[in-house]
Amino acid sequence: MTQTLLKAENLCTWFDVRRGIFSKPIYVKAVDNVNFELKEEEAISLVGESGSGKTTLGKTLLRLYRPTSGRIIYNGTDITNVPYNRLRWYRREAQIIYQDPFSSIAPFFTIYKTLEEPLIINKIGDSNERSEMIYRALEAVKLTPVEVFASKYPHMLSGGQRQRVVIARALIMQPKYIVADEPVTMLDASVRVEILYLLRELQQKYKISFIYITHDLATSRYFSEKVAIMYAGRIVESGDVDDVIQKPLHPYTQALLEGIPDPDPENRKVLRKVPTGEPPSLIYPPPGCRFHPRCPYAMDVCKEKVPELRELKNGHAAACHYAEVFLK
């Protein structure tokens, strides 16, 4: 049975935004009471609008942000409050691919130097061994001939090629899991599919667990086995990706599906039921269900009581008071 690699328990990440020295603390509740689990060799998509807390959750799991409360368990070890200077071992096993390939690589480093730097910092191998690892990583992300690409600078590469370098930099550390933070958002449409297929191929070949952060629910179906839908700092639905897409149990997930472009021109004539309004303030979130101001099914209980994320069918869970209605 597949082992749990990473687990978050009641995780909160709040940011203090007080406006003066003597003012009362005001918090942005970017991640608020989230429970999350990632198994070995598993790919999970975190899906939601901008500002839903996806990236903050990913960076908190990587311990780039210190959680306000809750616990992070990695491979059976509680790393929630481990000091940063004692987490180097974790930095090797948990990597990130950033959204913007143009700003995530030092412009004055060659590609060889970019890939060599983490190996030097972590004291991995001698110069010959590092060269072999660098060329192997470039070959894995299909930047060939490797000798030519290794000597280039970032400005000499296209956006897709730069993102392949970022992937190679994460891969070269032989991590156990990778957080891919919207890795194709800033690329041309024709390149996005190539990068997603490459990531999926590498995930299966090297048996790496992936957390794929995206606002595009359509791509998650082709990349991950499971999906977690985030809204206003909380996970509102989770389960196998096919179950969630084919039978969504939360109105917000239904809204995300309605927003996916349809290539059939006949279907475009049908008026879509996309909720109006904007996501709520994470400083002053609404009481009860945070989606209720935009929800077409909202009742009085939705405005008063916070719905629990509860399993309804075969690992498919939803935080909605009326989720059973959508099961029918």
Whole-angstrom Cα distance, residue 312 to residue 165?
Answer: 42
**Model pLDDT, residue 327:** 83
The size of the chain, in residues, is 328
**Model pLDDT, residue 222:** 83
For the chain, the domain total comes to 1
CA 240 to chain CA centroid, Å, is: 16
What is the span of the domain harbouring residue 303?
4-101+178-188+207-327
One-letter identity of residue 107: P
- For residue 49, CA distances in Å to 31, 115, 142, 156, 318 come to 14, 32, 32, 33, 17
Whole-angstrom Cα distance, residue 241 to residue 236?
Answer: 14
One-letter identity of residue 183: P
**Model pLDDT, residue 201:** 93
**Model pLDDT, residue 251:** 93
**Token representation of residue 245:** 């897409």
Residue 238 falls inside a structural domain: yes
- At 4-37, the pLDDT tens digits run 999 999 999 999 987 777 778 889 999 999 999 9
Residue 82 falls inside a structural domain: yes
**Model pLDDT, residue 263:** 62
Residue with tokens 């939360």: 250
Residue 155 falls inside a structural domain: no
Instruction: Outline where the chain has alpha helix (H).
Output: 54-61, 88-93, 111-121, 127-140, 146-150, 159-171, 189-205, 217-223, 241-246, 251-258, 300-304, 323-327
**Model pLDDT, residue 272:** 58
Comparing C-alpha atoms, which of 134, 128, 132 is closest to residue 113? 134
Residue 137 falls inside a structural domain: no
DSSP string, 259-278: TS--S-TTGGGSPP-PPPS-
For 26, half-sphere exposure in the C-beta direction (CA atoms, 13 angstrom radius) is: 12
Residue 126 falls inside a structural domain: no
Residue 306 falls inside a structural domain: yes
Residue 311 falls inside a structural domain: yes
Beta pairing class for 77-78 and 177-181: unpaired
CATH number of residue 262's parent domain: 3.40.50.300
Residue 160 falls inside a structural domain: no
In this structure, are residues 13 and 68 in contact, taking their beta carbons and an 8 Å threshold? yes
**Model pLDDT, residue 37:** 95
pLDDT < 70 positions in the chain: 1, 261-274
Whole-angstrom Cα distance, residue 326 to residue 247?
Answer: 8
For the entire predicted model, the pTM comes to 0.92
In this structure, are residues 224 and 232 in contact, taking their beta carbons and an 8 Å threshold? no
**Token representation of residue 310:** 């509860």
